[in-house]
Structure 1
Amino acid sequence: MNRARDARDWDRRSVLRAVGGVAALGGLAACGSNTGRSGGGGKSIKQMYHAYGEPGTQQAAKKFADAYDKAKVTIEWVPGEYESKLATSLLGSGRPDVFEYHPDLQLVRSKQIVPLDDIIADVKDDFLPEDITANSVDGKIYGIRMIDDPQFFFYRKSLFEDAGVKPPTTFDELIDIAHKLTKGKVKGLYIGQNLKTISKPLVWSNGTHYLTEDHKIAYHTEELEETLTKARELYTSKSLLLGAPTETWDPTSFVQGLCAIQWCGIWAIPAIQKAFGDDFGIFPFPKSGKNGRPVVYNGGWSTYVSAKAKDVDGAKEFVKWLWIEQKKYQQEWALDYGFHIPARKSIAAGADKLKSGIAAEAVELFNSHGIFDDPYWTEGMFNIVLDAVVSSVRDSKNPAAELDKADKKVERDLKKLG
């Protein structure tokens, strides 16, 4: 990315085009197809991944495909805007049979994915209940969690000590500390090229969710309106890093000393530890408003089977083999290429790499403050509210009015989706 980018990166179109979900460390691998072993009596399965940035991930995905002997597995590795590529692929002739994504009601209502209750039934209790709920619609399980990726703020301990500050517990404190840590070429805070990265914790930090348990609007509160006004103050200050060389999923800006605090995820711990040793720490997105709470957003990925797969049963059999039966591969995927929390409780229990230091602290924050995606809150609804957030923060429009407009559009979508 061009470091000369400025606040124009915060416009609506950039926000809505931004890559959702989580990538990881280093440069993205080139797009292309990697073919697994020929076999399975001519059967074939196309599996789609977003381009994880950690070195070795693409090779590992191919290795897993090669090890499957009941079909020829082809890997499509997609850098850039994975969600857009996936949406296009699912509607075209080159659609994947198996793909990774996030829980989304729209995929169920449009009959693009199939339930996976039958293949997960025997090990359902080995997954976190929240991961099961996040992948369930109308009582059926549509996705199998691959990894859990808690996200939080990383900070330089030495810079905090020099400035005489401690990790913030409120959004007001975060803004104040960002000002105090901004010195010379070092900005106090980096939260992304646009607001998409932190918009969910920004909402959740007020103590609410996007929707109630019976799927009514819950995000629009006076506290959120006040938080957006404060976020506008942060945006207009000179303490926010804009035009960074990489997005927040990549810790490069933090490692290069361009900022004192950066939003990122558990996967970045090995790279940051290599750069700074013990001179860094983590803290959750701080609470905002009188009813607020600290937030650790659980990103991560789940695997799904396309309803239009060439062989739905064959695709389900492959998913069961890789993400249920092959615990060795699941452990490798979670722990050998950056850090992720294994989705299976039995595997996580033996994850020694996550049992000490900052990694153990990350797991504790995840257990204490983790918030999971709601499958009934679709990507379309998210973008509607995101547009209101950006209008309020970047354009200084009235938060109450912008959220009122968003409410009408979200209610329309909720009604449409039943």
Structure 2
Amino acid sequence: MKLNRRTLLTLGGGLAATATLAACGSNNPLASEEPTTSTTGEDTAAAGITLQQWYHEYGEAGVKEAVEGYAADYPDATVEVKWTPGDYGSILAAQLLTDDVPDVFEVEQGGSLDMIRSGQLADLTDIIEPVRDQFNASVMERFTFEGKVHGIPQTIDMQLLYYRPSLLEAAGVEPPQTFDELVAAIEAVRTDDIGGLFAGNDGGVGVLGTLFIWASGNDQLNAERTEAAFLNEDFYNALVAYRELSASGGVVQAASAEWYDGAAFINGEAAFQWGGLWSLPQIIEAHGDDVGVLPFPAIGPGGRPAVPFGAFGACVAADGPNVEAAKAFVKWLWIDQEDKQVDFSNSYGTHIPAKDALVAKADKLSGGPGAEAARFVAESGFANDIMWSGTLGDAFGAAVSNVIKQDADPATEFADFADLAATELEKLQG
């Protein structure tokens, strides 16, 4: 699977991790080509340092030119931007094992457990700590591991629930704040011509999987990261509640496009759609002011609203030849240069600036649904725990699918998960 800003939202989350996701607006036929490098900036008279900076291939037009321009503006070193089509994660991992590591590179969620544990990432805590409270708190919590930060957030992507206020008003219902209210709203608005909730052509099982943990008031792992923290009646009841909604016909099982494309909502195939913030411009173009957004609603007595987020972070190679110079560049670009941070989030698709104060400066987020979406991340944002491994995600996804699709008993399906989690987490503790 090609790594991009959308796939990082679902990696390690179960079935959604195996979904075929498009890059952010990209089906670039050049994706199989070798990475391309462009040299930007001018050597400083003082140091003459050259830094190599890696990005994955962004699908939105203009991103490559923008980041090359940012690099060219840096006054204290020459920065060579390497644009990396293809399987960026695998290409980067292989390069980091060589003697020719890039000085600066982006990594999903600010660094993987393997990268941190193997000492591949420089500690950036010193450059972000003085301004930490300027960044989105949910993102910074995810970017912090054992008290250290190894990546500076660049921009934020997230998922959310779309609805049309006019449909709810016509049916006499309010925007749902709980899952029970969502079920009632779906029943009130769906007709032979428009379905209820669409969340993917697998009936929503993949992309919504971990949301049933968070929305039922649970966390994936306990605070010590030694065991699963959600194996209880609240979680099991959440799965059953969604299964009942699906069995009732309230969930659209298949539509003209996948959940990460706004087409089903735009075309009127569903009254509610779980999707990505990146679809907001197309949805507003289709429906104008008749667009509302919500987090996934709280399920059960201990539930809470939830939205998943993902963010690439700018990291520095701990074994690179210019660690301090690379840290200075990362600080300059992703901490100091707020105009560039707004441009990166706002000019190429719709994304949320990592700094809270910059959200209002992104015109797509300055009001209406965009501003609401940014607030959801700050108040209700969740991301897969750094120790929620692929092994755990695969087992979790299979069990969720069996409960919802095969009518299996949730307690029975998850009977072995506690032991699996304890064993896997013990291996990962390092």
| Shorter-chain TM-score above 0.5 | yes
Q: Which runs of 4+ in 1 moved over 6 A?
A: 92-95
Out of 260, 266, 271, the residue aligned to residue 255 of structure 1 is 266
Distance 1:143 1:323 in 2: 10
Distance 2:194 2:386 in 1: 39
| Structure 1 residues 121 and 292: CA distance shift in structure 2, 3 A | closer
Q: Shift of residue 339 of structure 1?
A: 3.2
**Alpha-carbon displacement from aligned partner over 1:242-273 (angstroms, at most 9, x marks no partner):** 44444333323222222221112334333222
Q: Shift of residue 324 of structure 1?
A: 1.9
Distance 2:261 2:118 in 1: 33
**Alpha-carbon displacement from aligned partner over 1:339-371 (angstroms, at most 9, x marks no partner):** 333212443364455332222333343444333
Out of 201, 206, 212, the residue aligned to residue 196 of structure 1 is 206
Within-5 A mapping of 1:34-183:
34-37=36-39, 40=43, 43-49=50-56, 51=58, 53-68=59-74, 70-78=77-85, 97-103=104-110, 104-183=112-191
Q: Shift of residue 315 of structure 1?
A: 4.0
Distance 1:262 1:95 in 2: 42
Q: Shift of residue 373 of structure 1?
A: 4.7
| Percentage identity across paired residues of the two chains | 32
SS in 2 for 1:404: coil
The answer to whether the 8 Å contact 2:180/2:299 transfers is: yes
| Structure 1 residues 355 and 43: CA distance shift in structure 2, 3 A | closer
Q: Shift of residue 141 of structure 1?
A: 0.9
Distance 2:88 2:176 in 1: 34
The answer to whether the 8 Å contact 2:265/2:271 transfers is: yes
- Show the counterpart of 1:229: 240
SS in 1 for 2:386: coil
- Show the counterpart of 2:7: none
Out of 353, 357, 370, the residue aligned to residue 359 of structure 1 is 370
The answer to whether the 8 Å contact 1:128/1:343 transfers is: yes
* More off after superposition, 326-335 vs 340-349: 340-349
| Structure 1 residues 327 and 15: CA distance shift in structure 2, 3 A | closer
TM-score, normalised to structure 1, is: 0.82
SS in 2 for 1:74: strand
Distance 1:150 1:47 in 2: 23
Q: Unaligned regions of 5+ residues in structure 2, if any?
A: 1-12
Q: Unaligned regions of 5+ residues in structure 1, if any?
A: 1-11
| Structure 1 residues 230 and 333: CA distance shift in structure 2, 3 A | same
* More off after superposition, 346-355 vs 187-196: 346-355
Q: Shift of residue 229 of structure 1?
A: 1.9
**Alpha-carbon displacement from aligned partner over 1:264-292 (angstroms, at most 9, x marks no partner):** 23343332222111111112211112211
* More off after superposition, 82-91 vs 178-187: 82-91
Q: Shift of residue 380 of structure 1?
A: 4.3
* More off after superposition, 83-92 vs 391-400: 83-92
SS in 2 for 1:37: strand
| Structure 1 residues 250 and 61: CA distance shift in structure 2, 3 A | farther
Letter in 2 for 1:299: G
**Alpha-carbon displacement from aligned partner over 1:178-201 (angstroms, at most 9, x marks no partner):** 355443453321112453322222
Aligned residues: 403
Distance 2:284 2:261 in 1: 14
The answer to whether structure 1 residue 271 and structure 2 residue 282 are counterparts is: yes
Out of 263, 280, 293, the residue aligned to residue 304 of structure 2 is 293
The answer to whether the 8 Å contact 1:341/1:348 transfers is: yes
Within-5 A mapping of 1:340-359:
340-348=351-359, 350-351=361-362, 353-359=364-370
* More off after superposition, 271-280 vs 192-201: 192-201
| Structure 1 residues 340 and 224: CA distance shift in structure 2, 3 A | same
Please give the root-mean-square deviation of Cα atoms over the aligned residues, in Å.
Answer: 3.4
| Structure 1 residues 256 and 15: CA distance shift in structure 2, 3 A | same
**Alpha-carbon displacement from aligned partner over 1:143-190 (angstroms, at most 9, x marks no partner):** 211223343200122333444443223323334443554434533211
- Show the counterpart of 2:6: none
